[in-house]
Homo-oligomer: A and B are copies of this chain.
Amino acid sequence: MTYCVSLLLNKGLVFMSDTRTNSGVDNVSTYRKMFTWSKPGERVITMLTAGNLATTQTLVSLLDERSKAPAERKPSLLEAPTMFQVASIVGETLREVIESTSPSGQSADSQFGATVILGGQVAPSDPRLFLIYPEGNFIEATEDTRFFQAGETKYGRPILVRAIDPEMSFEEAVKLLLVSFDSTIKANLSVGLPLDLQIYTKDSFAVGAERRFEWDDPYYQSISTSWGESLRTALKALPDYEL
């Protein structure tokens, strides 16, 4: 499994992904699930992947090769004029990868399936955030729904739904994401640290702060410890039920 989240805030985009991959519980590895392409001053594109590792690695390699080889440069992530067209390219490539492996053709419940969260900004438009399905089609974050999750989404969802605020600062957003990841990590063995963080500031057209949180990271540890305490305190403060 995997857990990836991206938030679309007024200040920009925040991405976080875990790094655990597993096939059963006795074949566990660490792989980065966050990938970035950029042309400083013009575009930054960041992708989080969830699903079959062979599929997502092939997807990334194909997208990479196609944006580097001059002859194959169109369609390329680095040339497409809008984020919508970037999402279409990623969707088509994802579909192509799954189709090439699945004997019965590409489908959502294929064991080779994968889901992609894609966010970024291409000048002169605003930042946009997409969730791309294994079929290659996608949905976009809007004012009503300002975040996407992929992988093991349920444990970490209640706090996101309750606390997300488009006006929040990046500092608050990182805190919120770490709480959501901590709830997931405590409940599902197949989601694990280290966690990758990337921040994109609106209209910067440059890759923002990047960070990897390891198990012993003091900030992660303090969030993980004090959140349990905070929850118990918050619960105590609610009006008691009268029998």
Contacts and interface: CB of A to CB of B under 8 A. Distances in A.
Interface of A: 154-155, 157-159, 161-163, 170-172, 174-176, 178-179, 183, 186-187, 199, 209, 219, 222-223, 226-228, 230-243
Copies of this chain in its oligomeric complex: 2
A13 to B, nearest CB: 14
Q: Which 4 A-B pairs have the closest CB atoms?
A: A154-B154, A230-B234, A174-B241, A158-B183
B243 A179 contact: no
7 contacts: A154-B155, A155-B158, A161-B186, A163-B235, A174-B241, A175-B241, A219-B239
B226 A230 contact: no
A194 to B, nearest CB: 16
B231 A172 contact: no
A213 B66 CA distance: 58
B227 A163 contact: no
Contacts of A223: 238-239
